[in-house]
């Protein structure tokens, strides 16, 4: 009897540690190559509580684009109901006040890291789709809400693919099993080849997983990378790429630019792992970053919350079906 009571007690008291991610947007006079002033990232711009159409555990991996006097932010939303990531959208007129719109992309597999970009007046996105064992290029059919797969770029469980153009070629970084891979192509939807020196880095958790858009500015290239030590999502580093061709590659670290504060009350206490930035004009950039805080929750209550989310969604679908059936009956 004593062992059974101990089992029940341990089960009731069991804890789970969750990383609660949020997003901050801010403006600077130049691109981020050194740690930003702490006041700029004091409080988040968007949090899980701002998501209204799905029960969100957290939001992360922000990417931004500007079009027709509006800033669009795409980011991962982790859905409590499915336990999978999907892509959400928020908009802003000034880049500082953001309003959540809705989920714009969901699949049967997990999605995150929605690297969005424009090419030839079309909008594209490469979200992480590692769970589908492929790297997929999506194209907007009705920007920013409707996205369809345009091409499968590669097969494999690659994470956080980051694409850019340089010297009339397309280049693409991807992480896989603590390795940094590099691919190139003459055309966006053409055949992609792996660089002769790829994987560029192996057996490393500090600098192999991409952490944001690659910036090409004044013919200089900067790549941002997640630092996964001592734990996932600890920090972001920036590297300057000194040589890039089909046969050559070299880089040098510039700085560690984002990290946690270790302050118990801070939204990014336990680390940061993603950055995106776009140039607004000659003297201004819009930057978005994410950060997280580890929280301990009662495991049973956490499980019940997820089960309730699933039940609530099923109930909504059932109510919708009943209402539609009644409307059809009334119309008849």
Domains of the chain (ranges plus CATH)? 2-331 (2.115.10.20)
- Mean pLDDT, all residues of the chain: 91
Reported for 122-130, long-range contacts at CB under 8 A and 24+ positions apart, including other chains, are 123/65, 123/67, 124/150, 124/188, 125/74, 125/87, 126/153, 126/161, 126/163, 127/87, 128/61, 128/158, 128/159, 128/160, 128/161, 130/157, 130/158, 130/159
pLDDT of residue 329: 43
φ/ψ (deg, to 5) at 137: -100, 120
pLDDT recorded at residue 306: 66
Beta strands in 31-94 (DSSP E): 56-67, 70-79, 85-92
Sign of CA dihedral 231, 233, 236, 242: positive
When pLDDT is averaged across residues 152-167 and rounded to a whole number, the result is 98
Residue ranges of E strands in 156-234: 159-166, 169-176, 179-185, 193-194, 209-210, 215-217, 220-227
Q: Is the backbone peptide bond immediately before 199 cis, with ω within 30 degrees of 0?
A: yes
Closest CA to 55 of 90, 86, 95: 86
Mean pLDDT value of segment 48-74? 97
Per residue in 188-205, pLDDT (tens digit) is 999 999 999 999 999 999
pTM for this model (two decimals): 0.89
pLDDT surpasses 70 at 330? no
How far apart (Å, rounded) are the C-alpha atoms in residues 259 and 113?
19
**Which of 235, 262, 277, 243 is closest to 66 using CA atoms?**
277
User: What's the CA gap between 188 and 192, in Å, rounded?
Assistant: 9
Is a pLDDT exceeding 50 seen at residue 52? yes
């Amino acid at each position: 009897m004593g062992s059974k009571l101990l089992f029940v007690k341990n089960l009731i008291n069991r804890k789970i540690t969750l990383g609660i991610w949020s997003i901050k947007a801010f403006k600077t006079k130049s691109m981020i190559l050194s740690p930003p002033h702490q006041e700029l990232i004091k409080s988040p711009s968007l949090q899980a509580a701002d998501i209204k159409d799905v029960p969100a555990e957290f939001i992360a991996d922000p990417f931004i684009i500007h079009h027709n006097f509006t800033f669009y932010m795409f980011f991962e939303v982790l859905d409590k109901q499915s336990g999978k990531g999907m892509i959400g959208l928020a908009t802003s007129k000034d880049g500082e006040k953001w309003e959540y719109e809705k989920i714009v992309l969901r699949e049967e597999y997990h999605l995150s890291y929605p690297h969005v970009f424009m090419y030839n007046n079309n909008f594209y996105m490469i979200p992480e789709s590692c769970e589908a064992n492929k790297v997929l290029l999506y194209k907007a059919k009705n920007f920013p809400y409707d996205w369809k797969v345009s091409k499968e770029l590669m097969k494999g469980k690659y994470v956080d693919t980051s694409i850019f153009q340089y010297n009339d070629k397309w280049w693409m970084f991807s992480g896989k099993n603590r390795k940094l891979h590099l691919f190139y192509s003459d055309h966006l939807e053409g055949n992609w080849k792996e660089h002769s020196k790829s994987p560029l880095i192996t057996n490393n958790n500090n600098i192999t997983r991409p952490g944001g858009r690659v910036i090409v500015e004044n013919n200089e290239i900067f790549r941002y990378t997640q630092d996964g030590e001592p734990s996932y999502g600890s920090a972001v580093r920036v590297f300057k790429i000194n040589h890039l061709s089909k046969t050559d590659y070299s880089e040098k670290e510039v700085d560690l630019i984002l990290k946690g504060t270790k302050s118990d009350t801070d939204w990014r206490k336990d680390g940061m792992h993603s950055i995106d930035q776009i140039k607004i004009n000659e003297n201004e950039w819009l930057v978005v970053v994410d950060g997280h805080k580890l929280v301990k929750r009662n495991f049973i209550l956490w499980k019940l919350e997820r089960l309730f989310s699933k039940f609530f969604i099923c109930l909504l679908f059932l109510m919708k079906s009943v209402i539609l059936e009644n409307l059809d009956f009334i119309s008849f």
